Amino acid sequence: MAGNGRKTSPSPTGQDANERAYAAMIDRAKALIPQLRERAARTEELRRLPPETERDLHDAGLFRIVQPKRVGGYELDYVALVDCADVIGQADASVAWNFANLASHHWMLGMFDKRAQDLVWNKDVNALIASSFIFPAGRARKVDGGYVLRGSWPFSSGVDSSEWNMLASVVSSDDEADGIEYRIFLLNKCDYKILDTWNATGLRGTGSNDVEVKDAFVAEAMTLAVSDLDGGPTPGSAVNPNPLYALPVFSLFPYVLSGVALGNAQACLDDYVDIARHRASTYNRAKIGDLQSTQIKIAEASAKIDAARLIMRSTCIGAMADARRGHVPDITEKTRSRRDGAYSVNLCTEAVSLLFSASGARGLFTSGVLQRQFRDAHAINSHIAFNFDAAGTNYGRVALGLPSENLTL
């Protein structure tokens, strides 16, 4: 793995071609690090991906790592999302965030009805798809042939670069006895309005703007029920039989983005170690690297990052193994995945905060990368998927025999 001196092993697929494709994607991601680092300030200034960065990711094939092979994608194991985001995050967390988000939507589209897949990919296999999976933000009602959707969704990362958007909504019913249905709606950009709202402290370059929909008709085939994403065959399995497209989506949701926190923390550690090797204290000229406190903080931060990487990768590799043998995790296993996803990112945030504090006043300068890594770490951690209070509470409820409060699991 770039930054820590160890090589990341590919997901065990038993297929040489897949392993070579996996290694190639990691190498291509690593090759982008220098230019992405150089563009980081401009990315923040633009508040979205620069066109040349988006082009670099396309040219490297990185957006298509979990896209079905039948349309030319690489169909790599799920852990590739963590590993590639880890590498890109060592350059710029905003770029890694958009990469992971947009790449994961090719994976999710592979679970939709073939008609939805064909409508998108027959026109452009490289088409980018944004999302906002905030169900209460929308309201949909069933009509003949589909649904009518309206709402206003925040945090649609990469939306300005995208031709399509996956928007989550509650489906309303005249009969309360029908209960609540959660559904995902795939809309073309002509059916929604982008609101320029993204002025944020961290992840400034993700362009995570709001989108607004006013009574758009969405055909039935362009929607997907959350209940179809529990694990096991999906509507897309008829044309995409790889177990990758039978994973339980929302229990693994944190791992779409957790690699971003991992890469950001690894870069922070690597940069801190490099500075500590050469820097002398402003006040007494003592070498920073000779201080025991510096050595201990490096050890603690690296242990947190290494532990986070093990948690993230083992969860994703285990999920693929389960899917291959046809095992659908129960609610205890699903809440454990959500717990571990939040916990591992929290470890990364703690590591960055520890190093930022150890850097003293020099870490405050906007000319350095540490302040951006600190801001990005806390912006990542603010995502609901990484809120350990929420994930931990739900895990504890299920462990105690109480019903899960997460209705998407």
User: Per-residue pLDDT tens for 237-272?
Assistant: 999 999 999 999 999 999 999 999 999 999 999 999
Please count the other Cβ atoms lying within 10 Å of the Cβ belonging to residue 407: 14
> For the chain, which domains are there?
16-121 (1.10.540.10), 129-230 (2.40.110.10), 254-399 (1.20.140.10)
- pLDDT given for residue 355 in this prediction: 96
Helix axes 93-109, 114-121, angle to 10 degrees: 130
Read off the DSSP letter of residue 382: T
Listed residue (380, 391, 390) closest to 339, CA to CA = 391
Mode of pairing for the β-strands spanning 138-143 and 164-172: parallel
Question: What pLDDT, on a 0 to 100 scale, did the predictor assign at position 5?
Answer: 43
Q: Is the pLDDT of residue 362 over 80?
A: no
pLDDT score recorded for residue 13: 43
What pLDDT, on the 0 to 100 scale, is given for residue 288? 79
In this predicted structure, the answer to whether residue 29 has a pLDDT above a threshold of 80 is yes
287-299 residue pLDDT tens: 878 889 999 999 9
Kindly report, residue by residue over 269-283, the tens digit of the pLDDT.
999 999 888 876 555
Mean pLDDT to the nearest integer, 26-39: 98
What CA–CA distance (Å, rounded) separates 59 from 126?
10
206 by Cβ neighbours in 10 Å (0-12 / 13-18 / 19+) ranks as buried
Provide the residue type at 212 as one letter.
E
* Burial tier of 29 (Cβ tally within 10 Å: 0-12, 13-18, 19+): buried
Average of pLDDT values for 34-59? Answer: 97
Q: What pLDDT shows up at residue 10?
A: 47
pLDDT of residue 289: 82
CA distance 3 to 271: 9
Q: Is the pLDDT of residue 285 over 80?
A: no
Which pLDDT band, with edges at 50, 70 and 90, does 127 fall under? very high
pLDDT at 280: 60
* Selected residue with higher pLDDT from 180 and 241: 241
